[in-house]
A and B are shown apart, each in its own frame.
Chain A
Amino acid sequence: MTKPQYRQRAIVQREELSEDYFILWIWDEDMGALCKPGQFYEIRALAVFEDAPTSVSIPRLFKPISIYDNQGGRIGFMIKRVGLGTNALSKLKAGDTLELIGPAGNGFPLAEDRKILLISGGAGYPPLWYLQKKLIGQNKVYWIHGGATGSDIFPCDEMWTEDGSIGRKGRACDDLENTIKEREIDLIYSCGPFGMLKEATRISEMYDIEHYSSLEAYMACGIGVCHGCTVPIGTKEDWDYLRVCKEGPVFSAKEIRWEIM
């Protein structure tokens, strides 16, 4: 696997998606050739901190952001404003510089001739967009996406909102069992909030379906050094804390020890 590299790249385009979401596009053919769906970059706005006392309150750590799209080196990061770090990113415009460390992480295992279900919630949408581009054609793919409000909803096959403003009212997993049976699903990829992933895992276990989940975690280094982003992975009896940034972010869902997270 390619080791993560440090780069500074100009933002070539900024795209506004909704109230809470935006996309930052950069251009780098070499990086594009290395990226796989499910991998991420640690990114940060390039800022000059020298002699700036106000910098004390500026978040300084890089933030792990999944690769949303890669069009031969035109790489997109679809970002939700959640905290200070992503808010700082949201202020960037075309021409500003991003610092990037990556591509990092293992990425999703790809498949052929399968009946695939993608299930995402909120900010879990972006990595599955890049993934489905690689899956469509070789597989049957059905995508369920849910969010709190319409602002969290993006193109897919089946939409759910908790407030009922778009698509079906409820949560992405609410009708999952029927979908699995009707579409004879034999492979699931998921990314989203903890509760959704846990529920999707419970159901995929019940039907004994191969299932890969992409997890998120607080990170400092993003390259496997600091052990800050670990999650418990293994069997009930024998598990270890593995790094989301290095052994992950994609894990076999049945190996994630949800009960102790």
Chain B
Amino acid sequence: MGNNVMKQRQDAGEQLKTSLGVLKMKTPISVSSGTFDLETLEFYDQNCLGAFVCKTITREPKKGNPPPRLYETEAGLINSIGLQNPGLDMFIKENLPRYREELSVPLIVSFSGSSTDEFCEMLEMLEAQEGIDGYEINISCPNVENEGIAFGTQADVVHNLVSRLKPLTKRELCIKLSPNVTDITEIAKAAEAGGATSLALINSLYGMAVDHQTGMSRIKMGVGGYTGMGIKPVALALTYKTAQVVDIPIVAMGGIYDWKDALEFIWAGASAIALGTAHFVNPLAAPEVMMGLGDYLLNNNKSMNDIKGACRFS
């Protein structure tokens, strides 16, 4: 690489900077919870990432769903993991020290509770820990106080939850929204009004696959979460619609495989993007997206802010 190219890369580095409500990111590239971990970082230099999001943690350990949990389907993947995780105590004791030691990029802890009180308890326990830059609040889980209806499906419940969490932290408070709702913009507005500093969307869509010969569901639990290439148009539309109604930054995800996909989401209003299923399809997706985005911004003499939400219709 010649000196000019190296200089260009550094300039691109400047142009790739972005920020969420609190968190400053060196690149707009984050990772979708549960698709990425320290093992993936064996493949490349982690500095292409603007943030690292861990797999969702619950208060108590979760065994997860019975297998089969995965099926590769049309243009994507159906999964039904069931939030298998070691629980918060074990996470704080074992995972967090490893993250602190091995990560040089900001750590966002994704967690989920079964009641508003439990969400608050978990946040307080995490606040007592160093080396955490923010939280991704996974509200796609059943609320035991509300007949098991998922937190993320009701605007008033989301508003109440976020209002309770907000006074407990000065760190990034990113609420992850489910697309499996009547109107995602109502949920987004409720999260913002409650004090969210950013939004992450979209979580997986409902998905199912059946063996046409035998009638057997490909996934043991029947309905799973559909991710990957096939959900990109849906994710893009919901990113655009949400960006129209909130002022807080959006981390967009859903079928982003390469830098061109990433750019589409930024045009539609995202401040950052996350790669998920892409990691399983292209282990080098993150550094390739960084290079591609950097080249695009540099060649067109634009910054992230210039294109964010600047999607045109004529």
Q: Write the residues of chain A forming the contact surface with B, with a CB cutoff of 8 angstroms.
A: 3-6, 49-50, 56-57, 59-62, 85, 99, 101, 217-221, 223-232, 240-241, 260-261
Instruction: State whether A220 touches B42 (Cβ < 8 A).
Output: no
Q: Given A4-B42, A241-B67, do A221 and B280 touch, yes or no (CB 8 Å)?
A: yes
Interface size for chain B: under 10, 10 to 19, 20 to 34, or 35 or more residues?
20 to 34
Alpha-carbon distance A126/B134, docked complex (angstroms): 47
Whether B72 and A61, one on each chain, are in contact in the complex, defined by CB atoms closer than 8 angstroms, is: yes
Q: A59 to B280, Cβ gap below 8 A?
A: no
What are 23 inter-chain pairs, A to B, with CB distance below 8 A? A4-B39, A49-B257, A56-B230, A57-B75, A60-B72, A101-B283, A217-B67, A218-B68, A220-B277, A221-B40, A225-B39, A226-B34, A226-B70, A226-B79, A226-B81, A226-B280, A227-B34, A227-B69, A227-B84, A229-B70, A230-B67, A230-B69, A231-B67
> In the complex, what residues of B have CB within 8 A of residue A99's CB?
283
Q: Identify the B interface with A (CB < 8 A).
A: 34-37, 39-40, 42-43, 55, 63-64, 66-72, 74-75, 77, 79, 81, 84, 229-230, 257-258, 277, 279-281, 283-284
> Which of B36, B71, B280 is the most central at the interface, judged by chain A CB atoms within 10 Å of its CB?
B280
Closest 9 CB pairs of A and B: A228-B70, A223-B39, A220-B280, A225-B37, A60-B281, A218-B70, A6-B43, A6-B283, A3-B42
Q: Within the assembled complex, what's the spacing in Å between the Cα atoms of A224 and B176?
A: 24
**A62 / chain B contacts, CB cutoff of 8 Å:** 280
Smallest distance from the beta carbon of A220 to chain B beta carbons, Å?
4
Interface of A is mostly: loop
Question: Given the complex, which residues of A lie within 8 Å of B77, measured CB to CB?
Answer: 61, 220
Given A57-B74, A62-B280, A220-B70, also A227-B35 (CB < 8 A)? no
Point out the residues of chain A lying under 8 angstroms from B55, CB to CB: 225, 227
Q: How far is the CA of A99 from the CA of B42 in the complex (A)?
A: 15
- In Å, the complex CA distance between A221 and B84 comes to 15
A241 adjacent to B39 (CB under 8 Å): no
Shortest Cβ distance from A51 into B: residue:
B260
Which residue on A lies nearest to B277, using beta carbons? A220
A50 to B69, CA, bound (A): 29
Q: Are B43 and A5 in contact (CB under 8 A)?
A: yes
Given contacts A3-B42, A6-B43, A60-B281, 10 further A-B contacts (CB under 8 A): A3-B39, A57-B75, A61-B281, A218-B68, A220-B280, A225-B37, A226-B35, A226-B70, A226-B79, A241-B67
Do A5 and B69 have beta carbons less than 8 Å apart? no
A69 CA to B187 CA in the complex, in Å?
55
Query: If A56-B74, A61-B281, A101-B283 touch, does A223 touch B40 (CB 8 Å cutoff)?
Result: yes
Name A61's closest neighbour in chain B (CB-CB).
Answer: B72
- Evaluate contact between B72 and A59: CB separation under 8 angstroms: yes
Q: A residues within 8 A CB of B79?
A: 220, 226, 228
* Chain B residue at minimum C-beta to C-beta distance from A261: B67
Q: Verify B63–A225 contact, CB threshold 8 A.
A: no
Using CB atoms, name the residue of chain A closest to B278. Answer: A60
Q: Which residue of A lies closest to B280 (CB)?
A: A220
B40 close to A225 (CB less than 8 A): yes
Q: A225 touching B36 by the CB < 8 A rule?
A: yes
Chain B residues near A260 (CB-CB < 8 A): 66
> Within the complex, what minimum Cβ distance (angstroms) separates B16 from chain A?
22
Q: Which residues of B contact A230 (CB under 8 A)?
A: 64, 67, 69, 84
| Chain B proximity of A231: nearest CB distance (Å) | 6
**In the complex, residue of chain A having the shortest beta-carbon distance to the beta carbon of B79:** A228
Closest A residue to B36 using CB positions: A225
Does B66 contact A227, Cβ atoms closer than 8 Å? no
Decide: A240 and B280 in contact? CB cutoff 8 A.
Answer: no
**CA gap between A226 and B68 in the complex, in Å:** 13
Least CB distance from B177 to A in Å reads 21
In the complex the two chains form, what is the Cα distance from A62 to B81 in whole Å? 19
Q: Which of A221, A229, A231 contacts B279 (CB 8 A)?
A: A221
How near does chain A come to B292, taking the closest CB pair, in angstroms?
11
Bound Cα distance from A48 to B42, whole angstroms: 23
Q: Are A224 and B67 in contact (CB-based, < 8 A)?
A: no
A241 touches B74 (CB 8 A): no
Distance (whole angstroms) from the CB of A19 to the closest CB of chain B: 21
Chain A residues contacting B277 (CB-CB under 8 Å) are 220
- Distance in Å from the Cβ of A46 to the closest Cβ of chain B? 11
With A and B bound together, what is the CA distance between A220 and B219 in angstroms? 14
B284/A6 in contact, CB under 8 A: yes
Given contacts A218-B68, A218-B71, contact A224 B37 (CB under 8 A): yes
A54 to chain B, nearest CB (A): 11
A226 to B69, CA, bound (A): 10
B211 to chain A, nearest CB (A): 12
The docked-state distance in angstroms from the alpha carbon of A230 to that of B84 is 10
A contact residues around B283 at 8 Å (CB): 6, 99, 101
Task: Write the chain A residue with the least CB distance to B83.
Answer: A227
The interface residues of chain A lying within 8 Å CB-to-CB of B71 are 218
Bound: A217/B71 CA distance, A: 11
**How long is the Cα–Cα vector from A228 to B280 in the complex, in angstroms?**
12
